[in-house]
Amino acid sequence: MAHSPVLIGTRGSALAVTQTTTVANALSELGGFDVELVRVRTEGDINRAALSQIGGTGVFVAALRDSLLRGDCDVAVHSLKDLPTGAADGLTIGAIPGRVDVRDALCARDGLTLAQLPEGARVGTGSPRRAAQLRAARPDLEVVDIRGNVDTRLGRVAGLVEGAPGDLDAVVLAAAGLARLGRLEMVSEFLDPSVMLPAPGQGALAVECRTADAAEGPLSRALAAYDNNAARLTVTAERALLNRLEAGCTAPIGALATVTEVRLHLEAVVCSDDGAKVMLRSAATAELDEDGARALGVRLAEDLLAAGAASLTDLAVS
Ligand SMILES: NCc1[nH]cc(CCC(=O)O)c1CC(=O)O
């Protein structure tokens, strides 16, 4: 084992391979071992149905986890926002690297901002969270359900990608994914979290490994060194909220934690999924430690439940 490379599992999409390569290089450098990428196809890549209809959470994740548990890879790299909040038997999140831009980004034709889009403009997103917040900001927009990888979605915007005719005025994508793919020039506006709260965990990666390998050895040391405290605290708070609401990554819930000098601040929104312009938004702060972060997420979730969050969206069914 000592001389064989550490096998790093990844989905096959351009975004996944880009972010996994970043992680693999960092771990190799920190741990002084060789790494090798292992591509794993996931249900989310194969199934073309609308993401919200594939059923259950973690469609991008299950195959990578199976591969870890079988020993086909030693480490799996996930986009954190795609990772179900429940613990996986025998697996541990060994590292959460520093977060990149957490915001959602509007990629519109002709450089238009959200405010500049003409009345009735067609905006594509497959995310109920983005759809609800778009409708709240601009009730006149026509929100169009789209799927596909980042390039496919950008190609839907008229005049944005050469050779793609495009049938939409804009799409909304995570700035993080666009940045990792070198496509930030497609962004016409970075949406402020006061308008569009990102998904819990957006802009963060999870480096998962077998629990037994997290305890000792070069891989465990590399993971510990790669872990970023602010990223772990903010993601812990956001995911504790999501978990308490018993919701998954397709629920119309936004959450963003930020570290101020001495406190952790968490803001969240629960949207109604019937297209009505109803949202519940709340915020709270806590001490800067992992228990405090978890408690903060639970507390804010309970505030939202007390305010009627469960009547806005079907929270128990992910
Ligand atoms: N649900 C798909 C997904 N999962 C992770 C990212 C990239 C952004 C990130 O790492 O948070 C994306 C694309 C998108 O939402 O635009």
Q: Give the start-to-end residue ranges of the domains of the chain.
A: 6-97+204-227, 104-190, 238-310
pLDDT of 18 strictly over 90? yes
| Portion of the chain with pLDDT greater than 70, in percent | 89
Whether 42 lines ligand 1, by a CB cut-off of 6 Å, is no
**C-alpha to C-alpha distance for 58 and 61, rounded to whole angstroms:** 5
Domain 6-97+204-227 listed as CATH 3.40.190.10: yes
Is it the case that residue 152 has pLDDT exceeding 50? yes
Q: Taking residues 125-134, what's their average pLDDT? A: 93
The alpha-helical segments, DSSP class H, found in 167-289 are 175-180, 211-214, 218-226, 229-244
Tens of pLDDT, residues 51-102: 444 444 566 789 999 999 999 999 999 999 989 998 899 999 999 999 999 9
**Residues 296, 285: contact at Cβ < 8 Å?**
yes
Domain 104-190: which CATH number of 3.40.50.300, 3.40.190.10, 1.10.287.1080, 3.90.1280.10: 3.40.190.10
Check if 174 has its Cβ closer than 6 Å to any atom of ligand 1. Answer: yes
Task: Look at residue 281 in the predicted model and tell me its pLDDT.
Answer: 84
Please state the ipTM of this predicted complex. 0.94
Pinpoint the alpha helices (H) of the chain. 14-31, 43-46, 62-70, 128-137, 150-155, 175-180, 211-214, 218-226, 229-244, 290-306, 309-312
What distance in Å separates the CA atoms of residue 138 and residue 307, rounded to the nearest whole number?
A: 24
269: amino acid identity, one letter: V
Res. 44: pLDDT tops 70: no
Residue 318, pLDDT score: 32
Give the chain's mean pLDDT.
90
Read off the pLDDT of residues 157-192 as tens digits, 9 standing for 90 and up: 999 999 988 999 999 999 999 999 999 999 999 999
pLDDT at 150 over 90: yes
Token reading at 191:
């949406």
CB 71 within 8 A of CB 50: no
Mutation test residue for ligand 1: of 60, 81, 99, the one with most atoms within 8 Å of CB: 81
Closest residue to atom 9 of ligand 1, CA basis: 203
Task: Indicate if 104-190 has the same CATH topology as 6-97+204-227.
Answer: yes
Q: What pLDDT is stored for residue 52 in this prediction?
A: 47
As a dihedral over the C-alpha atoms of residue 106, residue 112, residue 114, residue 115, rounded to 10 degrees, the angle is: 170
Kindly list the distances between the CA atom of residue 218 and the CA atoms of 2, 10, 23, 30, in Å, as whole numbers in the listed order: 9, 21, 15, 9
* Domain at 238-310, CATH from 3.30.465.10, 3.40.50.261, 3.30.160.40, 3.40.50.150: 3.30.160.40
pLDDT on residue 274: 63
**What is the token pair recorded at 249?**
């990554």
pLDDT tens digit sequence for 241-259: 999 998 766 778 999 999 9
- End-to-end C-alpha distance for the chain, whole angstroms: 40
Residue 196 CB–ligand 1 contact under 6 Å: no
Confidence grade of residue 125 (pLDDT, cut at 50, 70, 90): very high
Q: How far is CA 252 from the centre of its chain?
A: 13
3-class SS of residue 233: helix
The pTM score is: 0.91
Q: Which atom of ligand 1 is nearest to the CA of 198?
A: 11
Report whether pLDDT(315) > 70: no
DSSP-derived secondary structure letter, 54? S
- The token pair at 63 is 């195959």
Is the predicted pLDDT of residue 14 greater than 80, yes or no? yes
CA of 250 to the centre of ligand 1 (A): 12
Ligand 1 probe mutation, 202, 235, 253, 256, most atoms within 8 A of CB = 202
Q: What is the pLDDT of residue 312?
A: 79
| Helices marked H in 81-160 | 128-137, 150-155
| CA 239 – ligand 1 centroid, Å | 16
Best-predicted range by mean pLDDT among 10-14, 52-56, 147-151, 152-156? 152-156
Q: How confident is the model at residue 119 (pLDDT cuts 50, 70, 90)?
A: very high
